[in-house]
Structure formats: structure tokens, C-alpha cells
Chains A and B, each alone.
Chain A
């Protein structure tokens, strides 16, 4: 895989932007996709968010100041896109006229791209009930083992607020799983 420096140098050479951008997509698309997918669950939603992330990267890459790794920069864009998506989805669900008859657990059962067992299905259904920010914080901490201060930097918040969000998320998930037993 090419180094970040190689990608950035190629991007700044006239006529090599497309080639450099393809390198960028090839290098980071998988990691970004799986991180997004664990937050939004649905493949089509994850695909949309991933494409929007790279479209923004294409637009703002000329202004990239190299104060962080390329992946960190891309991940921050992806998290913002995911947070906006989850918030708007939550609003749409709140004002939906048809209601949300299908539970998340039912959706996982019907989803051909979900292969988890019973306990995995229940865990993801519980995560799905969390508010957007708690969902993202819990996913970053629980699945990616990120440190609280790294999550805080990513979300432009404080370490204390991130710890509080994780704590609330953990308590809620424990309660949701207990209710199903």
C-alpha cells in the first residue's frame, strides 16, 4: 500500500489527481466502510455515507494541512457524515406517519448481509436504540477500543462528556438486554 506522502505528492502533481485519489480510495475505503457500517448497520446507508466521505475528501484534499494522518482526517469526515445521517434518520422516524413497525431485531433477521447469531443480533438491536452520539461513542470504544481522549478529539468534545456518553450507553444497553431476557 502506498504511503500517505506518496498519495499527497501525486495529488499535487498536475494530471495525477485522479490516480492519487484512486490510491486514497483503495487504501482506506475498507477500514472506513466497516467503521461506518457498525454505526448505521444497513449496507446501503453505509455505502452512501462512505461515498459522501470521499466526495468531501476530493473537494477539501487541496486544503489538507497534514496536521494529522490521512486516515484520521478521513475518519473525522466519516464520523461527521454518520452523525448527521443518524440525527436526520432519528428525526424522520419521529415524524414518520407510517410508524416504525419493524423492530431492528426483525430487520437484522431479514437482512441478507447480516450474519450474526442471536446474541449479536440482540446487542446490535440494543445499540440501535441509543441516541446518535451515544451510539457513535459506544461503537468507537467497544468495537474499536479507542481511547476516550481520541474519541473526544474525533468528536470535538471533552473527555469527560465522552466518558459520560459511554457510561449512559452502557447502562442503557445492559437494561435493553435485561428486558429481553
Chain B
């Protein structure tokens, strides 16, 4: 820092006639009328920018929560039976994702019944309790040979 002792402390210059015209330029600015539109805009702009900022933050938060799956989704809202079962806790998602492509979605409920209901009469009991007589007759009519 010793070399700074002899430094030129006024290394700046100004354009020619700058100080001579300064009074007039300041006078012009004092006399310049402030338009109502400009002054209204000046008042509204900070509030508008603040609202925009909060909106942007809320939007980013919503997108982030959607991406990370943190936003609550009602399982009943989904049309996908597999996803509904995963969300209800009946199926392990890791298993499903691994085999998702191989699962026949149309028969997923049948597989679920077979895995969870024993065949020692319980299936018949379950079906009897679940199906009406009319359903059973229609099923037999459609699936049994004469």
C-alpha cells in the first residue's frame, strides 16, 4: 500500500461545459410535470411486482410438489386400478413397477382374488355373497356349454 501514498486522487474529468449547464438541467427537471399516469404506475408497480413474485413462488411450489408426489391425490380419483391399489396399500409399488408392463390390467382384479381368497369353498362363498342370482345365471349362460 506504500505505493498508494503518491497516487493521483483525482483521475476523473467531466465533459466540457458540464458544470456550466448543470443549473439549467436541474431547473428543467424541477419544472418537468409528473404525469398522473406515470405517477399511478409508479405507485402500483411495486405492489404488482410483489404479487407477481408471490404468484411465481406459489406456482413453482405447486409444480415441485406435483413432481415429488407430495401433493395429496385421492386414490378414488385415478382410473388406473393398479395405481389405486398401490395407493391404498394393497400392493407394493416396487413389485408393480418392475412387472407393470407384463400385467394384464383387465384381469388384475381376478389375480387379486386368486391371491387373496383360498379355493376351499371360500371363493364360492365370496361369489355367492357378492353376486346376485341374476348375475350368476347370466355368467353361466355366457360361459357354460349346453
Which A residues are closer than 8 A to B by beta carbons? 18, 21-22, 25-26, 29-30, 33-34, 37-38, 41, 43, 47, 50-51, 54-55, 58, 113-117, 119-121, 123-124, 143, 170, 173-174, 177
Contact = CB atoms under 8 A, between A and B. Distances in A.
B10 interface: yes
A177 B30 CA distance: 43
Contacts of A54: 26
A21 to B, nearest CB: 8
The interface size bin for chain B is: 20 to 34
B22 A25 contact: yes
Contacts of A55: 26, 29-30
Given A34-B10, A58-B30, A113 B15 contact: yes
A21 B18 CA distance: 18
B106 to A, nearest CB: 53
A170 B1 CA distance: 9
B87 to A, nearest CB: 41
Interface in B1-36: 1, 3-4, 7-15, 18-19, 22-23, 25-27, 29-30
B29 A26 contact: no
A10 to B, nearest CB: 15
Main SS of the interface on chain A?
helix
A133 B73 CA distance: 51
A170 B11 CA distance: 20
A161 B23 CA distance: 37
Given A43-B14, A113-B13, A25 B26 contact: yes
29 contacts: A25-B22, A25-B23, A25-B26, A33-B14, A34-B10, A34-B12, A37-B12, A41-B12, A43-B14, A43-B15, A50-B22, A51-B26, A55-B26, A113-B15, A114-B11, A115-B12, A115-B13, A116-B11, A116-B12, A117-B11, A119-B4, A119-B7, A120-B8, A120-B11, A123-B4, A124-B11, A143-B9, A174-B1, A177-B1
